[in-house]
Amino acid sequence: MEANEAPEKIYIDDFGSELGCDWHTEHCYEKDIEYTRTDAFIEKACSWLQENIDKYLYNTGKWDEYIPTCSGKIIEDFRNYMKGENI
């Protein structure tokens, strides 16, 4: 990990108010709370969409032909939506 780069995920242990809490980059305890960097989550979701979108796209026109590829615009619109930007 580079000096200014945050880990993709961190895990928080809450030991109670008297003991405080601790964080680490690996899942250690059953009650750990997992936090994921927003940009890492968005990239993972976009990657899945890019790899799997062809499974879900069909032309419902008069020929019922399968559309084998999808424009990258849907991925970019999804990315912007996940960032909270209007599309």
Q: Which two tokens stand for residue 34?
A: 């997992």
Q: Are 9 and 37 in contact (CB under 8 A)?
A: yes
Digit-coded pLDDT (tens) for 20-57? 677 788 887 788 888 888 888 888 888 888 887 776 66
pTM: 0.56
Write down the domain spans for the chain: 9-82
Strands in 33-36's sheet, in edge-to-edge order, are: 21-24, 9-14, 33-36
